[in-house]
Structure 1
Amino acid sequence: MAIDLNSDLGESFGAWRLGDDEAMLALVTSANVACGFHAGDPATLLATCRGAAQRAVRIGAQVGYRDLAGFGRRFVDVSPTDLTADVIYQIGALDGLAQASGSAVAYVKPHGALYNAIVNHREQARAVVAAIVAYDPTLPVLGLPGSVFLAEAEAAGLRTVTEAFADRGYLPSGELVPRTRPGAVLSDPDVVAARVLRMVEDGEVEAVDGNIVATRPDSICVHGDSPDAVAMAVAIRDRLAAAGVDLVPFV
């Protein structure tokens, strides 16, 4: 049995430092690297791509709304035409930095509010899919199981990769608990590691109300901006290794 472990990285901006990218790159198999719209300045993104390339960590373009002030966690009612152009722009910018580092963008994962919006917002989901098809239709997309984003991506011929979250609470619908509500974010490394093993081995996760949600992830995400991100990633790796689960990139 094998699983991919991904994390959101490259999210520092200028003098503002967020997360420990160097430590996380030694633990994950895939890095969702910011593209400058929700976080990440060019020097940070280049350094992150170089670190990923040196460790053979796959680089994913983490595309989002143009919202530096809100860290991409606020919904933006952008037109489909503009959203498609924004996503193409972001993938291209990060791909240039990745190629200059000896690697390349290997997949696309939407960030924050965009990720959550296109679980149900079909018009924006189609706009994101259109951008990926236009840039490189061989790029896989990472998203939430049951989302209209993955449905639209599959219909367009893109490879879809399902994701589960180690450190985020779930609603009984299978969607993530909004960050404004209790139970949205988990931080105990032992609890998170046990939860991940249950996802991988049993295909299920307990929602905030106690209901059991089915999930069969191809990749597990631990957020790099969490204060306990490194400890959680270490605990996850140790728990999976003890259970005989290999960590392998999905692409």
Structure 2
Amino acid sequence: MPEQPRAWRVVLEHIERDLLDGRLGPGDRLPSERDLSADLGVGRSSVREALRVLEVMGLIRTSTGSGPQAGAIVIATPNGGMSTLLRLQVAAHGFPLDDVVKTRLVLEDAVVAALASASDRDTTVARRVLAAMDDETLTASEFLALDAQLHLALAESSGNTVIAATMAGLRTAIESYVLAGSEAIDDWQGMSARLRAEHHAIVDAIDRGEADAARALVHQHITGYYAHVPGLRPAD
């Protein structure tokens, strides 16, 4: 089980590199699950997890069945802040946990405050990710990948490209230690239900224009996870 998150990340990062380097573009079809599994040396379940995340990110569309329309097709490519920040993810692997958490608190405080205060706020993408996260059949690794994507979607919606780029660069680091912490949680279903409720509360506060409430909720959300996960020390 500990190998599975790393396996699906291999698939995700392989496809992201092909998108960023122009080897894949809109209209191109991805190799089949079987071919990706064989080429990358991972299980087909890992391939499916990676494709699910890419679909929620709006980069691919998948169709079931057989024939020329089946499988996954690229419908968009990473651009702007997403493209730049995907390239920064590698650097984030070695950052200390406390530094990443404290940076998240600063960045996400600014993100939710800016969104809630904006007259033209748009949480459409965040709501789409929230809907995907409400699926109770998600594995912990799928759920937490979407969790990281939700926070990135809010950052990108804030309109601050520097914050969005930094959050995207931290995505892998955030996922890795949050997932490591999840393996120590006895009641993952209970924890995931709690995280779902917190995510909805944050986005609801943003949509109501309640900046102070959104800031308090996102702070509690980030620090609360570490306070309840064995082996993780909450940020100061």
TM over 0.5, shorter chain: no
TM-score, normalised via structure 2 length: 0.33
**Which protein has the bigger strand share?**
1
Larger radius of gyration: 2
TM-score, normalised via structure 1 length: 0.31
**Which protein has the bigger helix share?**
2
